């Protein structure tokens, strides 16, 4: 099948590409880039995407697909549908499933579930068995089965001792550990520690819980000359530490979630559990530091930390509610609204943080827009205004604080693996 995309702005900083042109895609392969006269292709499906942008497919390196174990919250397929609807062609699936992805069987299971879907699913393996921080998971075997990185996400790797072993071990395969940075003895609160937590009488998690582990991990990465990736960074001090570490040449990378550059802990007033996540929403100074970090390159990637939970789990007392919100279907809109339209990042920088850098951190091939290459593309309208409607989510869950929010910029279509998703429908091309 042939697809012709007319008048789209191709954008890929890695190829220094930013031009308006046409694309011919046949059986999922880019056949031609340049002016195309549609009269010569009577069988082709033609999409006029005039004024819209086409980037190498966006990749969300931090999602919880919940399968196996909590298919009531999300499945690999429903999560992939949410990713496609949100403008993403690939996701990395976190290992805190039941059972945890500390075995090759679970890694293969997740990959197999997604094999016929448009969205690439790359499982992340656990660092330690059952993510308990006591003994190493078989990371070489997990890698062989398809794990692209390792994480005990939900908690930090429990001790410096075991993390050291894990960092040494994964160096053999140039692997990377994605670290949820939170010092256990300061954890357990329901929101950020600030005058707002004092005001609300809620148990709190201080930013130093994050800072201490970021610091620990950077010191280990330097000592061992190993890689470390800071997941969902949220504190100003942590951003400062990553910036300093990068200056010293330490192999540290970082990602931030859209809620940490768009909301503060003021939102917790009202006790809506859709504002409860971990790391928690921080203060304005931290939010500003996220944007600064994104601008100067300290923060490499943007990832949603898509964390589906059922209505009945979230509609409870604040301290009992589980942490996390879904984010795949609001992420691109938030990035464009909060970062592009507020003139913090250019579209090129956004493509780097949503497509190129996440794949580089995970050691994946970055798609390029070139004749003869597989079409792995995200097409988006940077200016379309829309209102988030949680009822329209493809995700199986609706735990989002952004329902009713007006956003500027939205996904239009994604193409990958000879499939296309647009206007709410998936088809083979």
In the list 202, 218, 242, 302, the residue contacting another protein (rule: CB under 8 A) is 202
In the list 99, 132, 271, 422, the residue contacting another protein (rule: CB under 8 A) is 271
What b/e readout covers 17-46, taking b as 16+ CB neighbours within 10 angstroms? beeebbbbbbebebbebeebeeeeeeebee
Choose the binding region for another protein from 188-196, 246-254, 329-337, 410-418 (rule: CB under 8 A).
188-196
Provide the minimum distance between the beta carbon of 68 and another protein in the complex, in angstroms, as a whole number: 23
What are the distances in angstroms from CA 421 to CA 34, 71, 112, 317, 360? 23, 23, 20, 38, 25
Choose the binding region for another protein from 14-22, 71-79, 211-219, 312-320 (rule: CB under 8 A).
312-320
In the list 79, 206, 401, 409, the residue contacting another protein (rule: CB under 8 A) is 206
Closer CB to another protein, 175 or 206, in the complex:
206
Provide the minimum distance between the beta carbon of 189 and another protein in the complex, in angstroms, as a whole number: 11
In the list 40, 249, 270, 372, the residue contacting another protein (rule: CB under 8 A) is 270
Task: Tell me the pairing of strands 377-387 and 301-302.
Answer: unpaired
Choose the binding region for another protein from 199-207, 227-235, 248-256, 376-384 (rule: CB under 8 A).
199-207
Choose the binding region for another protein from 47-55, 105-113, 223-231, 310-318 (rule: CB under 8 A).
310-318
> Which of 102, 305, 381, 383 is labelled catalytic?
305
Q: How many CA atoms lie within 13 A of 43 on its CB side?
A: 5
Greatest CA separation for the chain? 69
Nearest to 177 by CA among 110, 94, 99, 107: 94
Q: Does 41 bind another protein (CB under 8 A)?
A: no
Place of tokens 């880039």: 33
To 5 degrees, how large is the angle CA 372–CA 361–CA 251? 140
DSSP state of 366: P
Provide the minimum distance between the beta carbon of 125 and another protein in the complex, in angstroms, as a whole number: 33
How far apart (Å, rounded) are the C-alpha atoms in residues 215 and 163?
13
Whether 102 is catalytic: no
Provide the minimum distance between the beta carbon of 273 and another protein in the complex, in angstroms, as a whole number: 9
Choose the binding region for another protein from 156-164, 192-200, 301-309, 376-384 (rule: CB under 8 A).
192-200
Q: Does 280 bind another protein (CB under 8 A)?
A: no
Q: Does 203 bind another protein (CB under 8 A)?
A: yes
Q: Does 204 bind another protein (CB under 8 A)?
A: yes
DSSP three-state, residue 28: coil
How far apart (Å, rounded) are the C-alpha atoms in residues 158 and 94?
17
Question: Are 361 and 301 a contacting pair, CB within 8 Å?
Answer: yes
How far apart (Å, rounded) are the C-alpha atoms in residues 354 and 301?
6
How many residues touch another protein under the rule CB under 8 A: the total is 21
Q: Does 399 bind another protein (CB under 8 A)?
A: no
Q: Does 193 bind another protein (CB under 8 A)?
A: yes
Using a 10 angstrom Cβ sphere, with 0-12 exposed, 13-18 middle and 19 or more buried, the burial of residue 247 is exposed
How far apart (Å, rounded) are the C-alpha atoms in residues 309 and 73?
5
Choose the binding region for another protein from 100-108, 194-202, 251-259, 361-369 (rule: CB under 8 A).
194-202
Closer CB to another protein, 67 or 313, in the complex:
313
Q: Does 404 bind another protein (CB under 8 A)?
A: no
Q: Which of residues 313-332 bind another protein (CB under 8 A)?
A: 315-320
DSSP three-state, residue 196: helix
Q: Does 398 bind another protein (CB under 8 A)?
A: no
Catalogue the E-assigned strands of 87-188. 88-93, 120-123, 178-179
Closer CB to another protein, 41 or 318, in the complex:
318
Place of tokens 């999409």: 47
Q: Does 184 bind another protein (CB under 8 A)?
A: no
How far apart (Å, rounded) are the C-alpha atoms in residues 354 and 93?
16
Q: Does 40 bind another protein (CB under 8 A)?
A: no
Here the tokens at position 16 are 């220094």
Name, in order, each residue with C-beta under 8 angstroms of 424's C-beta and a sequence gap of 6 or more.
85
In the list 199, 285, 342, 427, the residue contacting another protein (rule: CB under 8 A) is 199
Closer CB to another protein, 43 or 195, in the complex:
195
Provide the minimum distance between the beta carbon of 185 and another protein in the complex, in angstroms, as a whole number: 10
Residue numbers annotated as active site: 305
| Site residues, another protein (CB under 8 A) | 193-195, 197-204, 206, 270-271, 312, 315-320
């Amino acid at each position: 099948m042939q697809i012709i995309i007319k008048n789209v702005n191709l954008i890929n900083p890695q190829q220094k590409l930013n031009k308006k042109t046409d694309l011919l895609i046949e059986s999922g392969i880019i056949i031609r880039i340049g002016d195309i006269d549609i009269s010569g292709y009577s069988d082709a499906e033609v999409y006029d995407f005039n004024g819209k942008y086409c980037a190498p497919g966006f990749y969300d390196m931090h999602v919880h697909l919940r399968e196996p174990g909590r298919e009531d919250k999300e499945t690999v397929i429903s999560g992939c549908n949410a990713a496609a609807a949100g403008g993403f062609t690939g996701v990395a699936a976190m290992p805190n499933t039941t059972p945890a992805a500390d075995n090759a069987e679970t890694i293969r299971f997740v990959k197999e579930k997604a094999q016929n879907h448009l969205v690439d699913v790359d499982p992340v393996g656990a660092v330690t068995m059952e993510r308990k921080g006591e003994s190493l998971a078989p990371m070489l075997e997990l890698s062989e089965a398809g794990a692209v990185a390792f994480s005990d996400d939900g908690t930090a790797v429990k001790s410096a001792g075991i993390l050291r072993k894990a960092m040494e071990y994964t160096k053999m395969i140039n692997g990377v550990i994605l670290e949820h940075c939170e010092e256990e003895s300061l954890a357990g609160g329901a929101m950020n520690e600030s005058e707002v937590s004092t005001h609300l009488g809620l148990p709190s998690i201080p930013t130093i819980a994050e800072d201490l582990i970021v610091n620990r991990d950077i010191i280990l990465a330097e000592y061992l000359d190993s890689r470390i990736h800071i997941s969902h960074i949220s504190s100003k001090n942590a951003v400062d530490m990553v910036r300093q570490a990068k200056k010293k040449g330490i192999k540290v990378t970082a990602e931030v979630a859209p809620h940490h550059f768009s909301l503060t802990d003021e939102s917790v007033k009202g006790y809506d559990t859709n504002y409860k996540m971990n790391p928690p929403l921080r203060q304005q100074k931290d939010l500003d530091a996220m944007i600064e970090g994104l601008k100067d390159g300290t923060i490499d990637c943007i990832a949603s930390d898509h964390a589906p939970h059922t209505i009945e789990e979230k509609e409870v007392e604040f301290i009992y509610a589980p942490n996390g919100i879904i984010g795949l279907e609001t992420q691109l809109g938030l990035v464009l609204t909060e970062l592009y339209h507020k003139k913090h990042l250019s579209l090129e920088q956004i493509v780097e943080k949503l497509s190129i850098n996440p794949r580089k951190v995970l050691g994946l091939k970055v798609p390029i827009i070139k004749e003869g290459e597989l079409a792995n593309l995200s097409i988006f309208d940077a200016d379309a205004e829309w209102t988030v409607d949680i009822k329209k989510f493809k995700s199986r869950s609706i735990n989002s604080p952004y329902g009713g929010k007006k956003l500027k910029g939205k996904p239009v279509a994604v193409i990958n693996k000879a499939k296309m998703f647009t206007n709410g429908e998936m088809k083979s091309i």
